[in-house]
């Protein structure tokens, strides 16, 4: 029976969960996969934490050099998070001939081109299933099961923190700030939640997933990003009246005009499968030219769900010797031949706080017409019930261009007849 030793860099929530799975399921892996996987070393500054998990003291490494020089370690699991020292440690391991399994989406998104060069040069495996969507096996699906397709689009809820916040706002009517504080108390949101609520986390993940799906490098810097910090319960409730649910969506499309990639709050029809993905759950909705629509759903974070993805990669690495790398030229920037669509098409939800006077709607209609925007539906409250005594007017547009809406917002806000544009949210048609 093949024996494979692993090392774990970091025994935080995910590292601890990974250690638990590997040790508790060792006999199952021996029986089912004919491989004996043992944890031969860990790198953890808090020795007491490692010992409490059951790690033997002589297997707690003092530094990365001990991991790299350990002949019993074939696979290194990196679950430290952040860029440094994780990047340096991973490169050290690859250069020492160790295959690497990582859950670090920021590291892989920003520096996969460097990591892959080191992996190829030293004939190592580089695996990263756990970097995106926790325990949901979306990367393996794209690399293996769906590789016979041209993936034309992907749309996903790929950040559990924002999905939890938006779910609570929708079901309880609580405002963003209050729900964020609750999420922080429960451990769903960090003390500094900007990576999640400003959309950076989802942007890193979309960069990784869209690069795989569309077979070309999609740098995170080319992805349009907008977070949820300006979302109000008012807009969520108006959306319900139109039959919509609000989600932070990561969207990628590969069409004749080029590739569009964006992360932002979106209204989606309540009947769409993604609309029922609530709390901290994640899902990715894929469309291929042959398979048509596929949705992968599950826990997007957590010790054991993410550990499940990590261990899956460890077993795959331990039982395969023909390592595969990117299907595209993996460079820091996008290929010059890759065309990106910035002025993308969408329907829009636009809420105005309008002055209660004659001619307001005529003025707005004139601006919409000038900007090539047609209205599909409209809702107007009676009387001054909005901010500063203004009257809320809500429009759902037909599909139009992003730049058309930006221009219309600019013109409306300059008009004396309209108080202001209170909210603009894209609608998935």
Peptide bond into 85 cis (omega under 30): yes
Distance CA 154, CA 272 (A): 14
Phi/psi for 293 (5° steps) reads -100, 135
Distance CA 126, CA 317 (A): 9
Expressed in percent and rounded to 5, the helix, strand and coil fractions of the chain are 40, 25, 30
Structure tokens at 15: 């590292």
Sign of CA dihedral 316, 317, 321, 327: positive
Structure tokens at 22: 């590997």
Phi/psi for 220 (5° steps) reads -60, -25
H or E element in which residue 284 lies: strand 281-288
Residue indicated by tokens 């899956």: 312
Distance CA 322, CA 114 (A): 20
Relative to beta strand 418-427, strand 345-354 is antiparallel
Q: Is 205 annotated as catalytic?
A: yes
Distance CA 304, CA 242 (A): 38
Distance CA 2, CA 74 (A): 12
Distance CA 245, CA 167 (A): 9
Candidates 87, 98, 168, 205; catalytic one: 205
Distance CA 190, CA 181 (A): 10
Q: Are the CB atoms for 354 and 393 separated by under 8 Å?
A: yes
Q: Exposure string (b/e) for 364-373, b if CB count within 10 Å is 16 or more?
A: beebbeebeb
**What are the catalytic residues?**
205
């Amino acid at each position: 029976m093949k024996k494979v030793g692993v090392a774990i860099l970091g025994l935080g929530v995910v590292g601890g969960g990974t250690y638990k799975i590997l040790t508790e399921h060792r006999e199952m892996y021996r029986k089912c996969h004919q491989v004996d996987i043992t944890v031969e070393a860990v790198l953890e500054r808090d020795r007491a934490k490692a010992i409490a998990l059951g790690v033997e003291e002589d297997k707690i490494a003092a530094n990365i050099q001990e991991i790299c020089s350990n002949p019993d370690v074939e696979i290194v699991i990196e679950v430290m998070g952040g860029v440094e020292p994780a990047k340096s440690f991973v490169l050290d391991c690859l250069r020492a001939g160790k295959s690497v399994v990582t859950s670090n989406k920021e590291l892989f998104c920003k520096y996969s081109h460097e990591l892959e060069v080191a992996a190829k040069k030293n004939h190592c495996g580089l695996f990263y299933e756990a970097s995106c969507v926790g325990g949901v096996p979306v990367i393996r699906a794209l690399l293996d099961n769906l590789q016979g397709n041209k993936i034309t689009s992907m749309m996903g809820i790929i950040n559990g923190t924002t999905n939890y916040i938006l779910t609570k706002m929708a079901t309880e009517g609580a405002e963003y700030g209050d729900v964020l504080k609750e999420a922080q108390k429960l451990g769903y949101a960090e003390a500094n939640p900007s990576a999640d609520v400003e959309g950076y986390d989802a942007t890193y993940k979309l960069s990784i997933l869209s690069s795989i799906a569309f077979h070309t490098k999609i740098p995170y810097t080319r992805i349009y990003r907008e977070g949820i910090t300006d979302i109000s319960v008012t807009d969520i409730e108006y959306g319900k009246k139109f039959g919509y649910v609000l989600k932070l969506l990561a969207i990628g499309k590969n069409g004749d005009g080029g590739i569009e990639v964006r992360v932002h709050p979106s209204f989606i029809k309540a009947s769409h499968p993604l609309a029922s993905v609530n709390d901290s759950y994640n899902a990715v909705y894929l469309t291929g030219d042959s398979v048509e629509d596929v949705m992968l759903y599950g826990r997007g974070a957590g010790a054991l769900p993410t550990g499940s993805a990590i261990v899956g990669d460890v077993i795959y690495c331990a039982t395969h010797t023909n390592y595969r790398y990117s299907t595209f030229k993996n460079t820091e920037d996008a290929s010059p031949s890759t065309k990106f669509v910035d002025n993308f098409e969408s329907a829009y939800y636009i809420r105005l706080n309008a002055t209660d006077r004659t001619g307001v709607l005529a003025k707005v209609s004139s601006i919409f017409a000038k900007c090539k925007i047609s209205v599909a539906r409209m809702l107007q409250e009676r009387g001054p019930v909005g901010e500063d005594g203004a009257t809320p007017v809500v429009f759902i547009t037909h599909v139009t261009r992003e730049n058309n809406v930006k221009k219309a917002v600019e013109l409306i806000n300059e008009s004396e007849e309209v108080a202001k544009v209170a909210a603009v949210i894209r609608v998935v048609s």
